Structure 1
Amino acid sequence: MLYAISNIQVGLDESDASVTRRIAQQLNLTVEAILSSTCSRRAIDARKKTNIHFVCSYEIEVDQIIDPLPNNCRKLEHSTLSPPRPEVFTRKVTAQHHAVIIGAGPAGLFAALALAESGIRVTLLERGKPVETRMRDIGRLRSRGELDTESNICFGEGGAGTYTDGKLYTRIKHPFLRWVLAEFVRFGAREDILIDAHPHLGTDKLVRIVRNMRHHLLELGVDYRFETRVDDLLIENGKVCAVRTGCGDEINADHVILATGHSARDTFKRLQQLGIKMEAKAFAVGVRAEHPQALIDAIQFGNRAGHAKLSAAEYALTHQVADKHLGQRGVYSFCMCPGGLIVPSPTEAGAMAVNGMSNAKRGGRWANSGIVVQVTPEDIVRHGIKSDPLMGITFQRELEVATFKAAGDHYAAPTMRLTDFVNRKATGNLAPTRFKPEAIATDLWQLLPHWIANPLAEGLLGFDRKMRGFITDEANLLATESRTSSPIRIERNESMQSVNVAGLYPVGEGAGYAGGIVSAAVDGMKAAAAIIEQHHSL
């Protein structure tokens, strides 16, 4: 018989045998009655530095009925560690139906996987390059300051998430969630992602996983094309019927899944010209904070920092700043990358942005995180930009162009020591930094709009009250973190299709419906499921 038991506290130095004994005692069983015990969920609890421990759930197999069941225990019909394939994706449909998917990020890749394995003919179009070639282009940007506008941190196979931290944590609840994680394991991820409360893959591992997915899709017969930007949609009688690529090819389609990611600004402009309904939405902008990882470890773990069972420490911080327009304006950390590095992430010539990444081991000397301020469409209008569905992009671009100019018209990062920023005094001195191609000492108060800079400074002071030592001479702020999420939302109906163009499925981060790798993958699968259901019922 199989049971799940939760809220088991496990010490850093505690053995598996000790945990099994405690579980047996809690259930009034002998140790011998527990035939097997497997951790199914694990989270670190570091709130008390004198008692850092894991909070775990276990799946246990026992040789007798547990009666009565304690509140933290329940009977299982089957293991949750091996989730069954969602029923909709077991259905086979005819290959005469053709789906074109625009974008090979997580939304596009998982949509392609689900459709191709169900029998639908798939063409997957990616404007950037394969993940291996893309690495070289990113390397040239970091080493020489040379930008390829079609192959960079944001554009290319795997999407923007491949060159961040590979974070798989999400707040969404959906039946497809566990299956997405299981598919990552299938293509090469370690099984720990199925149990960690905050799982991550790391850029180095994601590169291999994405490559394995590509090989599988090719074996399934997917027409997988790189360096193929889609410039237009062909629409007849209110339904999309084909796409036109940058080289002029027209590809007919019964369905078009739009999975472009949040930086495909030219695509969004063309969609607006076509009259596809969309709206401006809130997002956030700010800077990247870079601290020594050892400092963050010490703040979070105290004298247990460096323990073999503790990886590089993370943080997730929020602060509310009084605001005359919003009442409260949010300031929060974003995409925290332990043991990682800050990377240049522009996509347009003459504009500059930054992002963060780390590899699977998170073993680097530096921790970095976006520190960003909430931005609403109303803020942008007050800033002086004309109200328009794409006004968020206009504002992002304005900041990125100003950032490029502040760095001397180079793809470098305007940088200010954290203590100088909160003291509003530009000394020109910087803490040591790992950033490439170059960090240039800059007064960020002269770069950022004051309605961003003021709450940012107040938020940092609030962060230091929660994490004493966060404000330090050892940390820098690098500008500008502008690509936190899509500034638009493409309107869609319950069938996952555009509200005014049938057959067009806007999905993932770019369409405004996801906020990370897993939520984007789930959203792509939801579109695939809608297409499969439609043809299965015919």
Structure 2
Amino acid sequence: MQKEIELAVSPDFIHDENYIIQQGAAKLKVDRNRIKGIHVRKRSIDARARTVVYRIRVVYFVDEHPKPLHFKSDLQNIKDAKPVIIIGAGPAGLFAAYRCLEVGLKPIVLERGKPVRERRRDLAKINREGIVNPDSNYCHGEGGAGTYSDGKLYTRSDKRGDVNKVLSIFVEHGADADILVDARPHIGTNKLPHIIEDMRERILEMGGEIHFDSKVNNILTQFDKVTAVTTANGKRFDAKHVILATGHSARDIYELFRTNNWHLEAKPFALGVRIEHPQAIIDQAQYHCSTRHENLPPAYYSLVEQVNGRGVFSFCMCPGGIIAPCSTEPNEIVVNGWSPSKRNNPTANSGTVIQINLEDVHSSAHDPFALLDFQRQVEQKAFNLGGGRLVAPAQRMVDFVQNRLSNDLPQNSYKPGTKSVDLNEVLPDFVHQALRGALPIFGKKMKGYYTNEAILVGVESRTSSPIRIPRDRETLQHTQIKGLYPCAEGAGYAGGIVSAAIDGINCVDAISKLQ
């Protein structure tokens, strides 16, 4: 017999299985010895009251023993199956390839960048020398942007597909099973590369193909139907179905669409800064304590406010994390954040951004590149004001709000370095005005947030793609080119690792229906 109940558990006892069994026995009114085991289904932190507790949903096995959880996908050897070309080896591309193995299609993955291990050398050059390889950086390469930008797995995409399926595949390839339980699951940038490598080896073992250093330079069509894909290194791959899973920073793909006169449309995106605090400030505010309990993770926050009719909101919050340089082209500054699995860095950071709409840009209302061009201009301005080598313009929080150039900057996690700059010179007027209004209000919502110990680093600009590649809602094919499946973040249909993975799976399922 199985019984499921919810418990509130002090951090002191969250790892004490015997205590949890005793509490369950009392609540269920059964003898403790009849409980042969437990399975924690969900776990979250409730910090609304002064006393912080974990809320857990627990399945109690009464008079029966629990069966161990099993994670093993049912895959087929597809070496000689019909091919599906997948452009991009980020979360959407890899999970699309994995789904191909389940439904009997052969994935041929074309990735412009390098495998995760080789990619690290290019990331080191970015951090130490400010040198960007356009094909191998924090956004491009095996695993995509998610591999080296935190590995946060919480999502609101459960209506689009099976979130648990995505998480289970991660566990099958080495992720901690806690991601199936935690309300805000997180793998960590230090662990994700090994998981991605394991997924790659599984795809190859079952007959799939993955080609690195294979930048796509054309998608060939006949009578508005896909026939083949060519790469910059002179190779051609023939197939009737192509999944375009290139991520939000593959701007050359949008140029390819423009050259071929294929449908594109401008899409709103968000722009702002990365804000970094000492993690202790966030812990004290969220956990109502002077020192965080050893059984509580570094605290996170989520903030939103309306200023002058504009929403200002925190985005991609990284407890115990660092700010990373995520430029994909020379002469631009783009910042993002990530955390290791233990989230044990002394600082916390979050993107704090404002939505940018087409009417905010002085351009043709019918120009699909209007917002991308605007995004690029801001990134280049940030680079120029930083002075080069990916040094980022930055300002202390209170100084920014009070229109005062910072005399110095706090020590921070951004490795290429920061330079004291008036961020009014970097951000468009309506963006810095909205930020200036929101930050003191955030400080009223969260004690300690509004402080000159916090640093604003510019610019956070790759929150999502500024272009959408339109597709049919039913078939998921491009509205003009049959057999072409615009997918995930780069096409404007996802917003993170899990949602991108689900979209990749859905595209394969759409192809499978046609077989």
Q: Does 1:4 align with 2:4?
A: yes
Matched, 1:346 2:331: no
Distance in 2 (alpha carbons) for counterparts of 1:25 and 1:62: 13
- SS of the aligned residue for 1:204 comes to coil
Instruction: Give the aligned partner of residue 367 of structure 1.
Output: 348
> What is the match of residue 13 of structure 1?
12
Could you say if the C-alpha distance between residues 90 and 222 of structure 1 is closer, same or farther in structure 2, counting changes exceeding 3 Å? closer
2:166 is the alignment partner of 1:180: yes
Structure 2 partner of 1:284:
270
Seen in structure 2, the aligned counterparts of structure 1 residues 355 and 194 have a Cα distance that, compared at 3 Å, is same
Bigger shift: residues 293-302 or 280-289: 293-302
SS at match of 1:168: coil
State which drifts further: 197-206 or 429-438.
429-438
Q: CA deviation at 1:387?
A: 4.1
Q: Residue in 1 aligned with 2:477?
A: 497
- Structure 2 unaligned residues grouped into runs of 5+: none
Q: What's the counterpart of residue 254 of structure 1? A: 240
What SS does structure 1 have at the residue aligned with 2:247?
coil
Q: Residue 62 of structure 2 aligns with which residue?
A: 62
- Does the alignment pair 1:318 with 2:297? no
Partner amino acid for 1:410? R
After TM superposition, list the pairs within 5 Å mapping 1:364-403 onto structure 2.
Answer: 364-381=345-362, 384=363, 387-403=366-382
CA apart distance, 1:305: 3.4
Q: CA distance change for structure 1 residues 162 and 385 in 2, over 3 Å: closer, same or farther?
A: farther
The whole-number CA distance in structure 1 between the counterparts of 2:20 and 2:80 is 52
Equivalence map 1:287-298=2 (5 Å):
287-298=273-284
- Name the structure 1 match of 2:492: 512
For residues 468-487 of structure 1, what are the structure 2 equivalents within 5 Å?
468-487=447-466
Q: Percent identity?
A: 43
Aligned pair partner of 2:128 in 133, 143, 151: 143
Mark the CA change 1:93 to 1:365 in structure 2 (over 3 Å): closer, same or farther. Answer: closer
1:508 CA drift (Å) = 1.1
State how far apart, in whole Å, the 1-side matches of 2:475 and 2:2 are: 38
How many Å separate the matches in 1 of 2:253 and 2:371?
15
What is the aligned counterpart of 1:448 among 405, 427, 439?
427
Aligned to 1:197: 183
Number of aligned pairs? Answer: 510
Q: Secondary structure at the match of 1:510?
A: helix
Tell me the alpha carbon deviations over residues 9-44 of structure 1, each in whole angstroms, 9 at most, x when there is no partner: 111113433332332333333323333211110001
Alpha carbons 1:40, 1:81 under 8 Å: kept: no
Deviations 1:311-343 (A, max 9, x none): 1111111111233xxxxx111111111111111
Counterpart contact for 1:428–1:442, Cα < 8 Å: no
Alignment of 1:27-426 (within 5 A): 27-48=28-49, 50-63=50-63, 95-174=80-159, 175-303=161-289, 305-323=291-309, 329-381=310-362, 384=363, 387-426=366-405
Q: CA deviation at 1:534?
A: 2.4
Alpha-carbon shift at residue 79 of structure 1 (Å)? 8.7
Q: Following TM superposition, where does structure 1 have runs of at least 4 consecutive aligned residues deviating by more than 3 angstroms?
A: 78-85, 89-96, 384-387
The answer to whether structure 1 residue 528 and structure 2 residue 513 are counterparts is no
Q: Is the partner of 1:303 in helix, strand or coil? A: coil
Deviations 1:444-478 (A, max 9, x none): 01211110001011121221111111111211100
Q: Distance in 1 between matches of 2:506 and 2:308?
A: 39
Structure 1 gaps of 5+ residues are 65-77, 324-328
Question: Structure 2: which amino acid aligns with 1:169?
Answer: Y
Per the alignment, residue 25 of structure 2 pairs with: 24
1:57 match: secondary structure: strand
**Residues of 2 paired with 1:5 and 1:403: CA distance?**
52
Instruction: Give the equivalent residue in structure 1 for 2:442.
Output: 463
Residues 226 and 242 in structure 2, CA contact (< 8 A), matched pair in contact too: yes
Q: In the aligned structure 1, how far is the partner of 2:257 from the partner of 2:291?
A: 50
Decide which moves more: 436-445 or 314-323.
314-323
The CA distance in 1 between the partners of 2:440 and 2:337, in whole Å, is 22
For the aligned residue pairs, the C-alpha RMSD in angstroms reads: 2.1
Question: Contact 2:76/2:101 (CA < 8 Å) preserved in 1?
Answer: no
2:343 counterpart letter in structure 1: R
In structure 2, distance between residues paired with 1:97 and 1:3: 46
Aligned residues of 1:432 and 1:474 also touching (Cα < 8 A): no
Closer/same/farther in 2, CA of residues 225 and 92 from structure 1, 3 Å limit: closer
314-323 vs 206-215, which moves further: 314-323
| Contact 1:507–1:527 (Cα < 8 Å) also in 2 | yes
Q: What is the CA deviation profile of residues 122-154 of structure 1, one whole-angstrom value per residue up to 9, with x for unaligned ones?
A: 211000111111111011111111111111111
Note if contact 1:98-1:121 (Cα within 8 Å) is conserved in structure 2. Answer: yes
Question: Partners of 1:529 and 1:307 in 2: how far apart?
Answer: 45
**Cα drift, residue 172 of structure 1:** 1.3
**1:5, 1:362 → 2: CA distance?**
30
1:437 aligns with 2:416: yes
Instruction: Say if 1:404 and 1:80 are closer, same or farther in 2 by CA, change over 3 A.
Output: farther
Alpha-carbon distance change, 387 to 462 in structure 1, aligned in 2, over 3 angstroms: farther
The whole-number CA distance in structure 1 between the counterparts of 2:217 and 2:75 is 34
AA at the equivalent of 2:452: D
TM-score, structure 2 normalization:
0.94
Alpha-carbon separation, structure 1, partners of 2:88 and 2:491 = 12
SS in 2 for 1:320: strand
Matched position secondary structure for 1:509: helix
What is the letter of the counterpart of residue 376 of structure 1? Answer: N
Question: Shift of the alpha carbon at 1:485?
Answer: 0.7
- Indicate if the aligned counterparts of 1:111 and 1:524 stay in contact, CA closer than 8 A: yes
Partner Cα distance (1:81, 1:502) in 2:
41
Report deviation, 1:527. 0.9
- State the alpha-carbon separation in 1 of the partners of residues 26 and 475 from structure 2: 50
Provide Cα deviations, 1:185-236, integer angstroms capped at 9, x if missing partner. 1111011101000011111100111111111112122221111110111011
Change in CA separation of 1:351 and 1:475 when aligned onto 2, cut-off 3 Å? same
Q: Which letter does structure 2 place at the counterpart of 1:136? A: R
- 3-state SS of the aligned residue for 1:296? helix
Distance 1:273 1:219 in 2: 37
* Residue 82 of structure 1, CA deviation: 5.6
